[in-house]
A and B are shown apart, each in its own frame.
Chain A
Amino acid sequence: MKQALKQRLEEHLITEKPYYLASGKEVDIALAAHKNKLPLLLKGPTGCGKTRFMQFLAWKLQRPLITVSCHDDLSTSDLVGRYLIRSGEAVWADGPLTLAVRAGAICYLDEIVEARKDTTVVIHPLADDRRELPVEKLGELLSAPPEFMISVSYNPGYQSVLKDLKPSTRQRFVAISFDYPDPEREVEIVCREGGVDQGLSHSLVKLATMTRSLKDSGLPEGASTRLLIQTSQLVKDGIDIHVACRAALVEPLSDDPEMLAALNEMVSSIF
């Protein structure tokens, strides 16, 4: 059993340093939060580096990172664990949250607002000074070791009012707000991650800021840093810049034909 646990955890350990360019004090804050056993709440638009930040943090702390992508069918037992039947016997299987608590790992619940509110409450006792997880079906009360950390993320931008965090959940966390990096940093990130030169990266970032300013004109969210990186990866592999922008940047943003046309015109103006 111990062996299996160890093996499962090793899969979650990040061995290579992930690339992350800090744009503020977020790394210091997160490290201090970890030291003081405080949970983290990351908010920010899609593709601005929240998940990458968690990977970087896990690497820095040398703890396994267990990520759960939340969805509206996620149940408490999906997080905590359940009995399974194996060859006529009931066998208990830990859920990701329980696993993380046992191993003192970092548990990262991505897009927490997508989960149902009654599911989110299981993390409450873990996210305050009790730091414990009751596993009812086993009759166990697990106390989290000091290395354990829970962190959640959500995007305040596009979720509807129905999908908001309950104040009782919200008020347990140290919150770090993320946004797209400032232009210089973004250029550097795109250069480095997309493997393209400064000039192209600069133009891509310019295009991204243009799309981000279209919020009032009917585009719900502008191009994310992730899209820029993906575009530049296509370019690096020899795809024509106009084609790459259309495929990796324009089309993912909208389905509205007029908006698409306008975005394409921006692309052809810049490149």
Chain B
Amino acid sequence: MKKFYGKIISGSQWRWLLPILAFLFVFGLCEFDGPLYPQPVVRLTRVQNERPQRQVDNFNNVDHTTQQHVSGRLLNTSRQGRLVRFSNTFSASGALDTRLRVGQSVFVQRQNGSYQLQDVKRDGVVLGLLAATLTLMALVVKRRVWLTFGSLLANVILLLITLHLETSPANQQLAYLLFSGMAVLFTLVTTVFIAGFSRQAAVIATATIGATALAVALGYGLFNLTQYRDLHIEAMNYVTQVPQLLFFVQIIIGSLGAVLDESNDIAVAVMQLPRDSKRRFKAGMAIGRNVMGPLIAVLFMIFIADTFSESILWLRNDNALTQTFIWVMGLGFAQALVSAFGIVLAVPLTAGLATVTGKGATDEHI
């Protein structure tokens, strides 16, 4: 018992508490950032709930709505410190509303002298979790941490540039080309971060771009061959432009990371082997076979889970399961399948390229 206790508190184990501290620190800091916002922010000091009202719709869904009388103090603007009152209604399901609690900060809007709830303030949680994640990574990857952060940061910056270029009106016609170009640039920047300027990086980048291009070509070939039967691209969410373009962008960008990840795994392993083409290619294929399944699962779970809320809403509104699957889950599923093409095609492509390119590690030392 004593030994166990001693082990838990002994020196370095404490460091695993750092992510939690980082979260609390940033979360706490954001409690004081109200003055930075142009929009009025209120911290709630009192919340009174009325009795829940039972609601039944024509599909026999039973829900409860509750009205809240809320008061709080303004944290910014020229009226800082003043007490304001407003009301809020929340439902037990909470699709578009939320239950307010004392101590929470919210954005309000001033209309004709009275205040209305606009939205909940979320920066504390978001930035706090970000701080916790980065701290945790720094603890685990140690010296590689700058490389990891640098690669992520470079991608975020590239992303912002793409978005700005894409949404400037002059470039609308070129959008497909622009995004394909950006995908190539994303690949190049990320591979340089992973493998430096090396022959290995060239193999990874070429295989990634090649496999993604092939996968998209195969996907679109099949879409056209089956005349988009049951695939409703027009059902995409958040459409500000042609939905076809958005779907194309989502497919390319979505699979890029996974294909890159896999090509890297294969290339690194194969290029360490001695120069025996047959053995190298076989080893590459074996590694690829092992990683492709889990990688497909990563993207599949992300794309499908994203459709959950809407699917359940559809089913509860008396839509048939097949309708719900086709219209809501279908796009995520198609995206996962085309990405899977890329992940599978990258295996022979990378193994092949890594086999023919460059000498084996043992050769280079001779």
Do these two chains really belong together in a complex?
no
Report which A residues bind B (CB closer than 8 A). Answer: none
Report which B residues bind A (CB closer than 8 A). Answer: none
